[in-house]
Chain A
Amino acid sequence: MSQNQTNQQRQRGRPKLNETAATSVAELLGFVRKHQALTRLELEKISGFGRAVVADRLALLSELGLAHENETGISGGGRVPRMVSFSKNRAVLVVASIDQSSISVALSDLTGKLTAQHHEPGDLGLDPSDGADRMITLIRLMLSRQTKLPELWGISISVPGPIGPSENGSPLTSTPDFLPGWNESKLVERLIAEFSVPIWLMPSVNTMTVGELHGGTSENNDCMLFIKTGKRFTAGLVYEGRPYKGATGAVGLIGQLPATHEGILGTLDSLAGAEFIEQAALREARNGTSEQLTDLLNRGGELTLNEICQAAQLGDTVCVSIITASGKLVGTALATLLNMLNPKCVILAGALAQTNDIFLAAVREAVYGASHPLVTRDLQILQSQLGNTAGLLGSAHICLNALFEPKMLRGWVMMGTPLMHPDIISIMQPKIVSEGLV
């Protein structure tokens, strides 16, 4: 009997190496990716695996291009250790964001760092298929600009509305109606057909909250309230370091909170949002009470939130008063939430908060006036520093969390790419063939 036959007989009935190794390979990659272990010795300690197993799995990860040991560390007395690093440039992600007035596309490495980004104005009120066309064109442009483009592993998009049951983190196979008419644009189906990668869509308030948690002022904050301002007000809550999703995923619809302005009862959206501000400014411009607004109206024909905020910042008293009124209403509503939730910090983002300091000052004034002193004692109320980048950063991290989720990772790690995961293959193939989108 040959040696080969003897080995085959011994292995009969045992699981194959790629079946047993997947768990340990995935576990070790997880430690390396999260910087929980940086050397072989640390990996042995944290995982409990023997030296031979760690060496074998690292060799495999290196062969798959997922980790490498190129750098040397500092000796602790013996031989200089080799540092184990996650291969962050093994693949690239495309992340994008559609907002009421802008469209953004970026590339991210496998740590969630944005390596290139572009933002441009875009009107969401126009035909959704035009919006989808533009997004696909921008993705093509961003990818074509890269001289060395690694494998594309996924596309993650931040959208300005709820997407329904798919918010559980699974990639999508069809376009949800996050705003009226968008399911007709076939955005998701077209992206799958063109790029053959999994697609994620997430409401922008979720992506922005996650983005702030990973790169903004409140990085790694374990208790944070994120408020997105603009046409509508939405909020995201980070509790114990994780975004809180609620029972049905409908967290943070604070624009529906009741508000009163000059005796009129309405909602926060209707009495403090961008449309209300623009209408108020238009009335003042027509009445001639603000020279600057009248001049803007005569020159441009319309008054946008941005122009009104700029005018307020330049000292136009009418604009200051309109923005202050909006800020006070938001602050009053916010105080109720703060008294209940007691977060460490509040981040204000969106067009209204980021173009001027007057809104921020008014929010602070109302919050301090209507909150318990214990709640506001150490509370920070800050403007977002990330701007639209928050949504992109959050989209990248949502995509990475899905790809490297332990169960998912075990399903693809031995192939070296999530595109070979059976679930991903099954999601993409039928769609491409049945809809004739190729």
Chain B
Amino acid sequence: MGIIGLGPHGERAAPPERVVLLPNDIAMARRKKFRVAIIMHTLESDWSKQLVTGIIGTLGDAGAIVVEVVDCSFSAEAQIHALKRIRLMQLDCVISLPITSEAVADAHRMIAESGTRLVLVDNVPSGLLPSKDYASFVSADNYGLGMMAAEMLSEHIPQNGSIALLGYDKEFFATNEREISFSRWISTNRPDITTNIYHFNSIRTVGQLAKDLLTKPYCPSGMFVVWDTPCVEVLKVMNQIDNHVPITTIDLGSEVASSLAQNGPIKGISAQRPFQQGESIGKTTVTDLLGRKCPDWVALPGLAVRQSNVAESYQAIWRMPAPRAILDGLAPRKNNLNSEI
């Protein structure tokens, strides 16, 4: 699947193949011994861990040293503090996932103005421009991910049904794109379905929001949650009140993947490829540090994961065998298939 969406400034996406490190590049980078810091919104999620692994490995291949990996715990203040501190270290490059668009903009601009190169992941703070303020922006095709999730959920929604879209209320490029494209796909392809949008401001509040929706008289026929961590909270609420409606989400975390495999409420997952994204970020960083221009936006296509391909998708995305919970969920289906034969 190609890249469907446009970048934060309306850019056309460049595929990850556009940023390639040749043996000469790697040799040159090794001689320069670049020093890099990585600043993440969180290091708790599977996605973050895998992304950071991809970055660190690729930078390591090119002899670049990762001097610090910061976990900002979704706090804009923590990110601003980390950026101010790291600016004084006079590193070659900072790789950052900006937590919001507005609050952290000045802190990121200060990094750019200090001469340290900046590579952004998944979000671009307001007012920052490619080439001028940052070297490149690397993300998944979030617009495409939202469309995939809409298509997979629509298969489980009855005629004239309704969907509750649980979006994130922060101004954040990736989640905004998913929300907008999901709504667009439904209104274009299933105009009979009503999509109602609700926003949560933190993972702590999403459970209560889902509970309110699922216990009201006109319960939605399905739900879309913009990423997997809040989706896990929604799943907990569904189990608690014993009201399961079909859900789709983004990111193939272990818990949502298990629900998909075990024929739970999760009916489909639009998966990002965090390890490959991490590799692309690493290559983009080295390319820029060697003085070569990088594309303004490098985007990776998503992967539509259904029950039929959840195990192999898990392996492809996480680079490890699928956990027992997923394989056990799939096993009966295989037995049934054998007995039918």
Task: Report which A residues bind B (CB closer than 8 A).
Answer: 97, 102, 104, 113-121, 134, 137-138, 141, 144-145, 147, 215-217, 300, 306, 310, 313-314, 351, 354-355, 357, 383, 385-389
Please judge, given known A-B contacts A120-B184, A141-B183, whether A386 and B127 are in contact too, CB under 8 Å: no
Q: Mark B175-192, 1 if CB is under 8 A from A, else 0.
A: 011001101100100000
A121 touches B5 (CB 8 A): yes
Residues of A within 8 A of B15 (CB): 310
A215 touches B129 (CB 8 A): yes
A419 to chain B, nearest CB (A): 26
Give 12 A-B pairs besides A114-B127, A116-B171 with Cβ atoms closer than 8 angstroms.
A113-B126, A120-B6, A120-B184, A137-B184, A141-B180, A141-B183, A145-B199, A216-B129, A314-B18, A388-B9, A388-B10, A389-B9
- The B contact surface, by secondary structure, is loop
Query: How large, as a class, is the contact surface on chain B?
Result: 35 or more
The residue from A118, A306, A357, A388 contacting B180, defined by CB atoms under 8 A apart: A118
Q: Is B102 an interface residue (CB 8 A)?
A: yes
Q: Could you list some 30 contacts between A and B, CB below 8 A? A: A102-B6, A102-B10, A104-B10, A114-B127, A115-B171, A116-B101, A118-B177, A119-B7, A120-B184, A121-B4, A121-B5, A138-B180, A141-B180, A145-B176, A147-B169, A216-B129, A217-B132, A300-B2, A306-B12, A310-B15, A310-B18, A313-B18, A355-B14, A357-B293, A383-B131, A385-B129, A385-B131, A385-B296, A388-B10, A389-B9
B6 touches A386 (CB 8 A): no
B132 touches A385 (CB 8 A): yes
Residues of A within 8 A of B4 (CB): 121
Q: Which 10 A-B pairs have the closest CB atoms?
A: A388-B10, A119-B10, A387-B9, A119-B6, A389-B9, A385-B129, A306-B12, A387-B10, A387-B11, A385-B131
Task: Report which B residues bind A (CB closer than 8 A).
Answer: 2, 4-12, 14-15, 17-18, 101-102, 126-127, 129-132, 143, 167, 169, 171, 176-177, 180-181, 183-184, 187, 197, 199, 293, 296
Residues of A within 8 A of B169 (CB): 145, 147
The residue from B2, B9, B101, B167 contacting A119, defined by CB atoms under 8 A apart: B9
Nearest B residue (CB) for A97: B10
The residue from B5, B9, B171, B293 contacting A120, defined by CB atoms under 8 A apart: B5
- The A contact surface, by secondary structure, is mixed
Residues of A within 8 A of B126 (CB): 113-116
Residues of A within 8 A of B180 (CB): 118, 120, 138, 141
A120 touches B18 (CB 8 A): no
Please judge, given known A-B contacts A114-B127, A144-B197, A310-B18, whether A386 and B9 are in contact too, CB under 8 Å: yes
B12 touches A115 (CB 8 A): no
Q: How far is the CA of A306 from the CA of B299 in the complex (A)?
A: 14
Q: How far is the CA of A386 from the CA of B169 in the complex (A)?
A: 26
Q: How far is the CA of A385 from the CA of B176 in the complex (A)?
A: 22
Q: How far is the CA of A357 from the CA of B5 in the complex (A)?
A: 22
Q: How far is the CA of A117 from the CA of B10 in the complex (A)?
A: 9
Q: How far is the CA of A169 from the CA of B11 in the complex (A)?
A: 29
Residues of A within 8 A of B11 (CB): 354, 387-388
Looking at B129, B131, B181, B293, the one whose CB has the most chain A CB atoms below 10 A away is B129
Looking at B167, B180, B293, the one whose CB has the most chain A CB atoms below 10 A away is B180
Residues of B within 8 A of A145 (CB): 167, 169, 171, 176, 199
A79 to chain B, nearest CB (A): 29
Residues of B within 8 A of A141 (CB): 180, 183
Nearest B residue (CB) for A354: B11
Q: How far is the CA of A387 from the CA of B2 in the complex (A)?
A: 21
Residues of B within 8 A of A300 (CB): 2
Nearest A residue (CB) for B199: A145
B272 to chain A, nearest CB (A): 19
Please judge, given known A-B contacts A116-B101, A141-B183, A215-B129, whether A121 and B6 are in contact too, CB under 8 Å: yes
Nearest B residue (CB) for A138: B180
Q: How far is the CA of A144 from the CA of B5 in the complex (A)?
A: 21
Residues of A within 8 A of B296 (CB): 354, 385, 387
Q: How far is the CA of A115 from the CA of B105 in the complex (A)?
A: 11
Q: How far is the CA of A332 from the CA of B108 in the complex (A)?
A: 40
B326 to chain A, nearest CB (A): 32
B236 to chain A, nearest CB (A): 26
Residues of A within 8 A of B132 (CB): 217, 385
Residues of B within 8 A of A144 (CB): 197
A15 to chain B, nearest CB (A): 43
B101 to chain A, nearest CB (A): 7
